[in-house]
Structure 1
Amino acid sequence: MQTTTLGKNGKRVGRIGLGAMGMTFGYDPHGRDDDASAEVIRRAIDLGVTLIDTADVYGPWTNEELVGTALKGRRDEVVLSTKGGLLFDENGFSNNGRPDYLAKAVDDSLMRLGVDHIDLYFLHRIDPQVPVEESWGALAKAVDAGKIGALGLSASSLDEIRRAEKIHPVAAVQSELSLFDRSALAEVLPYTVEHSIAFLPFSPLGRGVLTGGIARHEDLPRDDWRRRLPQFSDEGLARQRALVAAVERIGARHGAKPSQVALAWLLAKGDHVIPIPGTKRLRYLEENAAAADLALTPAEIAELDALEPPVFG
């Protein structure tokens, strides 16, 4: 596995990370298998996939517990990333960026993970009711206390990144980025590249579409939350077919999977770009990890850049 650093002076990690969310939350919730997921996490470490990303809201709470259990005896081999500030209940998602809440959230994550420090902690969402400076300042105190190694922002604007930087360094930014959602390419990604901030694309495979394995709405498990999204209707999937065909076509030239092409396209966007595809299956983990060794030609990158992503909503 090729490696990079979390920003200019951060810890070394594999170029591909592992997002743990789907192991307990969101995707096929009735297909949960903690033993299989723990095996995936441990195999990831063997493959050099050493950035493991979770969050307190995944479950909620259960994902951190699963990750912490899987890492027993191997904690020092990984860079552990989690997040706080986003809540989920029967009414849906909400934000809480109050300093007192975040201070407690950090302590609770440490307890669930069973560790004495978190390598990388993200403010999961910025609370519109709380200035980012206040939320960020509370997390900076947790860094000073030795509970957190470095801080990151998730789904933030360029202005919010700059405001946070005045309080404490931003080591990483996590935003959705894939061939289907390229909004981060306009401002946020170029800024992170220029300033050597790590950029962690989440949903790098278009929530699974870029694997080539979802052709119809009925291909999704019955209780999978993606069934509610317009891009996963039969019409929506048909509109995305040109992009899927492109990664399949380029993959065929290299003897690679379409998912590997999609990840290689992201890796080409910067030395500190670290996609975090999620999976709970060993087969897909190994395919994703191998994408770090796939080198697309400049012409192939340009071909993918030129494809127009479909617009929904």
Structure 2
Amino acid sequence: MKQREIAGQNVAEIGLGCMNLSHAYGHPLSEADAAKVIDAALDAGVRHFDSAALYGLGSNEILLGKLLKPHRKNIFLASKCGMTGVDGKRVIDGRPKTLRSTLEQSLQNLQTDVLDLYYLHRWDKSVPIEDSVGELSRLVDEGKIKAIGLSEVSSQTLQKAHAVHPIAAVQTEYSLWTRNPEIAVLEMCRKLGSAFVAFSPLARGYLSGQVTDKNALVDGDIRKGMPRFQPEHLQKNLALLAELKLISEAQQCTMAQVSLAWLLHQGPHIHLIPGTTQISHLRDNVGASDIRLTSTQLAKLRQVFHPKHISGPRYPSATQLEIDTEEF
């Protein structure tokens, strides 16, 4: 794969979001099956692996610690703090003391002495962003993390944080059906020299064309509670896929590959971390690095998936209150 810079390192432009292995989309993979996915990712040239203290309430980091330890010198390893599981419940806590203790546990779980990139998973709005980032900067000074990232923040919050310590990356949902970063933060990342890491670049499977019925989702799948996957919204959104399908046929590739390629065309500072539990999908995703879309195709997709055409908000109202991103 082609490489792009993030946190002072050049890594393949498509990485692996590892949440799916342990969290959020139904039943976690067994360690043996997860090992097959990780091995396939490494074989395909993936070097950027993304986890978080929240995923599987720590089990995702523990899993990756076992599977990636033999490859640690050759990979780019990222995790997140500020949103963890406490007594089985998700808690947002950006206090410096909490961030430090979370990092210490993450290093132990991931079986490493230092993380290449460490994100504040959510800005705890009860704690000034300067205080949270200030503690992360001390962890950089101590050599426990190499770079600081933020997740789901506005351009204004990014600027405040960057004034305390350089922010190496911002991770936010970005895809054809979630274009919010285009309001301001994508450009602010470019101006500040921060990488932009797109999570859910396939819109949680929607852009692959394989998620057509909420009722087909297994118990424990977070999409069951997301507005855009409710029948009244999903049917409207599915109608938008017709043009994506036509372009994929013209390119002789999959709809997922076109969707990922479109994102890569939006700027050289953009990295993608699609998640998957299936090796065939992983290889398909990585193949998007070779897709070149025409200017006409890029413009057509931008028009078809204009935010005004997308039905439903991306998060339930309670979750929406927890994030800081600009919204259409």
TM-score (norm 2): 0.91
8 Å Cα contact 1:247-1:259 kept in structure 2: no
Residue 16 (structure 1) aligns with: 14
Residue 312 (structure 1) aligns with: 312
Residue 39 (structure 2) aligns with: 42
How far does residue 253 in structure 1 lie from its aligned partner after superposition?
0.6
- The CA distance in 1 between the partners of 2:91 and 2:180, in whole Å, is 23
RMSD: 1.4
8 Å Cα contact 2:233-2:311 kept in structure 1: no
Question: Structure 2 regions of 5+ residues with no counterpart?
Answer: 314-328
**1:63 pairs with 2:77:** no
Q: Out of 191, 194, 215, which is 1:194 matched to? A: 191
Question: Structure 1 regions of 5+ residues with no counterpart?
Answer: none
Aligned residues: 310
Q: Out of 215, 227, 247, which is 1:218 matched to? A: 215
How far does residue 91 in structure 1 lie from its aligned partner after superposition?
8.0
- The CA distance in 1 between the partners of 2:212 and 2:280, in whole Å, is 20
8 Å Cα contact 1:36-1:281 kept in structure 2: no
8 Å Cα contact 2:94-2:132 kept in structure 1: yes
String of CA shifts for 1:15-63, please: whole Å, max 9, x gaps: 101000011100012x522221122122212212111000000011001
- The CA distance in 2 between the partners of 1:136 and 1:143, in whole Å, is 10
How far does residue 229 in structure 1 lie from its aligned partner after superposition?
1.5
- The CA distance in 2 between the partners of 1:268 and 1:73, in whole Å, is 33
Residue 83 (structure 1) aligns with: 80
- The CA distance in 2 between the partners of 1:26 and 1:275, in whole Å, is 19
TM-score (norm 1): 0.95
- The CA distance in 2 between the partners of 1:304 and 1:282, in whole Å, is 27
8 Å Cα contact 2:22-2:60 kept in structure 1: yes
CA gap of 1:90–1:206, structure 2 versus 1, over 3 A, is farther
Q: Out of 181, 188, 203, which is 2:178 matched to? A: 181
What aligned pairs does 1:229-268 form with structure 2 within 5 A after superposition? 229-268=226-265
- The CA distance in 2 between the partners of 1:59 and 1:89, in whole Å, is 12
Query: Match of 1:11, as an amino acid?
Result: Q
- The CA distance in 1 between the partners of 2:87 and 2:104, in whole Å, is 24
- The CA distance in 2 between the partners of 1:98 and 1:187, in whole Å, is 27
Q: Out of 158, 175, 197, which is 1:161 matched to? A: 158
